[in-house]
């Protein structure tokens, strides 16, 4: 049975397409529809939290094949490998919010990041919180609206998350945020481990461990993902692939394509064609 919040979309023959909006800092909303295989194995550095709106959505996650049908919600933890495909002979569609872990961390009151081991969720409270993010649209441009939506979603994540482990070494949040800000400011530049140690006032090993606990990924992968975000903006504006690769700090187009595929499951050229299909 479909979610009581929204009717599911009717099945129809459609080409693959994606549409992206960025309604608030740290929140990206995507609407997608595909037939057959959509994405190869990849991993994001954000939470991917969404709702299946059409057909049967199948994906491999933590060694198992999962299926989400119309009305189900799903949670993909930062840095967890997954793919995407149709679960039957028809097409499938979904809406998903990519949410920076720093927003969930800030709303978690020092508990670190919630981890949901079973990614397909049918809990009504959780589905309402997900729908609150997905349907808010331009309202998320209001700082208070975004704050409330993230707070509700974070509480819902903790309710369906695995029981938290015994509290580990306290996170040095000031130093970790300082490193994060430095990486954001230097997307296309390499930063030495020594410089990051100085910024964080942590050893490079403790920095690597604590950064992942705070933001879901390593400092290196965090910076690579920011370069790829910048590259997507250039691609949307029509920039050539080779030029985009160099401007965003990659050694060449092949290097850029490899990282793009690892992050999003498709090539940069395919990504651009999917967006053009949606506009058409």
Average pLDDT, the chain: 87
Task: Dump pLDDT digits (tens) for 33-45.
Answer: 998 888 899 999 9
Per residue in 133-173, pLDDT (tens digit) is 998 887 888 787 888 899 899 989 999 998 655 455 678 89
Task: Write phi, then psi, for 19 (nearest 5 degrees).
Answer: -140, 130
pLDDT of res. 136: 87
CATH number, span 17-160: 2.60.120.10
The answer, yes or no, to whether residue 277 has pLDDT greater than 80, is: no
Among 64-68, 153-157, 169-173, 237-241, where is mean pLDDT lowest? 169-173
Segment 255-261 shows an average pLDDT of: 92
User: How many residues belong to the chain?
Assistant: 280
Handedness of CA 233, 234, 236, 241 (dihedral sign): negative
DSSP helix, strand, coil percent of the chain (3-state; round to 5): 45, 20, 35
- Bridge partners (DSSP) listed for residue 48: 76, 98
Considering only residues 212 and 57, tell me which one the structure prediction assigns the higher pLDDT. 57
The whole-number average pLDDT for the span 78-98 is 95
Of the given ranges (7-16, 49-58, 133-142, 153-162), which has the lowest mean pLDDT? 7-16
Residue spans in the chain of domains classed CATH 2.60.120.10:
17-160
HSE, side-chain direction, 13 A CA sphere, residue 119: 28
The answer to whether residue 176 scores a pLDDT higher than 90 is yes
Q: What is the largest CA-CA distance in the chain?
A: 56
Sort 38 into a burial class: Cβ within 10 Å, 0-12 / 13-18 / 19+: buried
Residue ranges matching CATH 1.10.10.60 in the chain: 222-279
CA distance 241 to 272: 10
- pLDDT band at 208; cut points 50, 70, 90: confident
Does the structure show a pLDDT above 60 at 1? no
Distance CA 45, CA 103 (A): 13
Of the two residues 75 and 135, the one the predictor is more confident about is 75
Average pLDDT on 51-57 reads: 96
Tell the CATH topology of 222-279: Arc Repressor Mutant, subunit A (1.10.10)
User: 187 or 228, which is more confident?
Assistant: 228
44: left (phi over 0), alpha (psi -120 to 50) or beta: beta
Dihedrals φ, ψ of 235, to 5°?
-65, -40
């Amino acid at each position: 049975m479909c979610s009581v919040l929204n009717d599911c979309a009717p099945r129809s023959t459609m080409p693959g397409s994606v549409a992206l909006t960025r309604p608030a800092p740290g929140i990206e909303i995507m609407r997608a529809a595909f037939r057959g295989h959509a994405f190869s194995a990849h991993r994001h550095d954000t939470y991917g939290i969404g709702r299946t709106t059409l057909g049967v959505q199948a994906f491999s996650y933590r060694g198992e094949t999962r299926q989400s049908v119309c009305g189900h919600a799903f949670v993909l933890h930062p840095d967890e490998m997954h793919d995407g495909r149709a679960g039957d002979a028809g097409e499938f569609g979904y809406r998903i919010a990519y949410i920076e872990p720093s927003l969930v961390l800030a709303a978690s009151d020092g508990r670190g990041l919630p981890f949901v081991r079973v990614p397909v969720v049918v809990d009504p409270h959780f589905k309402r919180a997900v729908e609150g993010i997905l349907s808010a649209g331009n309202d998320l441009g209001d700082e208070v609206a975004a704050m409330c939506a993230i707070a509700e979603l974070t509480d819902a994540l903790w309710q369906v998350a695995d029981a938290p482990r015994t509290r580990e070494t306290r996170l040095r949040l000031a130093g970790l945020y300082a490193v994060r800000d430095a990486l954001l400011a230097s997307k296309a530049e390499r930063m030495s481990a020594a410089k990051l140690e100085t910024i964080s006032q942590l050893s490079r090993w403790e920095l690597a461990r604590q950064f992942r606990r705070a933001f879901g990924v390593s400092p290196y992968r965090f910076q690579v993902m920011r370069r790829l975000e910048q590259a997507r903006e250039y691609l949307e504006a029509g920039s050539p692939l080779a030029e985009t690769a160099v401007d965003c700090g990659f050694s060449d187009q092949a290097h850029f394509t490899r990282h793009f595929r690892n992050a999003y499951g498709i090539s940069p050229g395919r990504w651009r064609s999917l967006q053009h299909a949606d506009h058409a």
